[in-house]
Amino acid sequence: MITTLFLIQVLNGLQFGLILFLIAAGLTLVFGVMDFINLAHGVQYMVGAYFAAAFTAYTGNFFFGLLMALPAALALGLVLELLVFRHLYGRDHLDQVLATFGIILFLNQAVKFIWGAAPLSVPVPEILSGSVSLGNLFYPVYRFAVIGAGLAVAALLYVLVNHTRVGMLVRAGASNAPMVSALGVDIRRLFTIVFGFGAMLAGFAGAMVAPILSVEPGMGDNILILAFVVIVIGGIGSIRGAFLAALLVGLVDVVGRSFAPNVLRAFLDPSMASQTGRAIAPMLIYILMAAVLFFRPSGLFPVKR
């Protein structure tokens, strides 16, 4: 029973880690290539969930809703890049933080105005409903689908970044953007592509979790903090680092919250162990980040500059 429960929590950690990767991948590219701090990346995840909920309700089919949500999330990212972000390139990081924080406030209020403050729910598609037996417990098929989708996107990103011309330019831009521009590459268009693609990945993550979590204003705020933890652990600008760090963070967070009280019962009385475990569990990912930065200040896989 304990082994099966541990396996389920590991699967939950993998699923959470892959969702974090979808968000952190775009964020680390934007930060690494453009040296741009985009606090609004979390609300793009939230808006992706709202797009999925709205289009699913409109079409009556989750997959059609997902297909419509992706270009909508891409379009939103391009519009934000055109109207706001491109005017902040080269500006002080404080200006970027203030401007993108303003976008967080604006979009959180915008979804309340359009969809209301009440949480929305998205039904799990019928073909992915049900559960798979794991010993005495069951695990939802849809969560396996989320894990599979995350792994597929990670594989696609690996191919795009490492085996295409655009990926070569992105990697070069992350290493030395002024040199890439001096060689005749339209760095502004490259920035736009990276921003739009990153917004679409965040929107895809939001759309995939919509059947699992409540879709509500502010749902992207906490996930943004974890995404920054991921890119700091993995190394700013590194897709490989973001992938491995996201899995580590997801596993440490989910498994730690589930088993920290049980581990502490070996040293403390049950009530104290339960209280201490609940207090320590949310800190584990930050302890992990501190440990990684102590031994590797640039992250696990820093981009060579």
pLDDT tens-digit map of 2-34: 677 778 888 888 999 999 999 988 888 787 777
Does any domain span residue 278?
yes
Residue 89 — left, alpha, or beta (φ > 0 → left; ψ -120 to 50 → alpha)?
A: beta
Q: What is the pLDDT of residues 102-113, one digit of tens each?
A: 999 999 999 999
Strand 137-140 vs strand 131-134: parallel, antiparallel, or unpaired? antiparallel
Residue 232's domain comprises 11-125+138-295
Does any domain span residue 45?
yes
170 vs 157, higher pLDDT: 157
Alpha-helical runs (H) found in the chain = 2-34, 41-59, 62-83, 93-115, 141-163, 165-182, 187-209, 219-234, 239-264, 270-280, 284-295
What pLDDT is recorded for position 207? 93
What pLDDT is recorded for position 2? 66
**pLDDT bucket at 51, cuts 50 / 70 / 90:** very high
Return d(Cα 92, Cα 245) in angstroms, integer.
28
Mean pLDDT of 32-59: 88
User: Among 28-42, 66-80, 210-224, which is the least confidently predicted range?
Assistant: 28-42
Average pLDDT score over the chain: 85
What's 139's DSSP letter?
E
The residue assigned the tokens 């099966």 is 4
Does any domain span residue 302?
no
Element (H, E) at 134: strand 131-134
Q: What is the pLDDT of residues 112-164, one digit of tens each?
A: 999 988 888 889 888 888 888 777 778 889 999 999 999 999 899 888 888 88
Return d(Cα 238, Cα 176) in angstroms, integer.
14
What pLDDT is recorded for position 174? 64
Does any domain span residue 303?
no
Task: Give, in degrees to the nearest 5, the angle at Cα 48 between 46 and 49.
Answer: 65
- Measured from the Cβ of residue 269, the count of other Cβ atoms closer than 10 Å reads 9
What pLDDT is recorded for position 75? 93
**pLDDT bucket at 177, cuts 50 / 70 / 90:** low
Does any domain span residue 228?
yes
Are 301 and 234 a contacting pair, CB within 8 Å? yes
Mean pLDDT of 77-88: 87
CATH code, domain carrying 114:
1.10.3470
Question: Residue 305: pLDDT above 70?
Answer: no
Task: Give, in degrees to the nearest 5, the angle at Cα 253 between 252 and 256.
Answer: 70
Does any domain span residue 15?
yes
Q: Label residues 6-28 b or e (16+ Cβ within 10 Å = b).
A: eebbebbbbbbbbbbbbbbbbbb
Report the candidate in 4, 18, 5, 2 with the shortest Cα–Cα distance to residue 250: 18
**pLDDT bucket at 209, cuts 50 / 70 / 90:** very high
Element (H, E) at 214: none
Return d(Cα 295, Cα 263) in angstroms, integer.
26
Does any domain span residue 2?
no
- How many structural domains are present in the chain? 1
Are 66 and 224 a contacting pair, CB within 8 Å? no
What pLDDT is recorded for position 255? 82
Does any domain span residue 130?
no
Q: What is the pLDDT of residues 222-276, one digit of tens each?
A: 888 899 899 999 888 788 888 999 999 999 888 887 777 777 776 666 777 677 7
Report the candidate in 103, 65, 108, 110 with the shortest Cα–Cα distance to residue 207: 65
Assigned token pair, 1:
């029973």
**pLDDT bucket at 173, cuts 50 / 70 / 90:** low
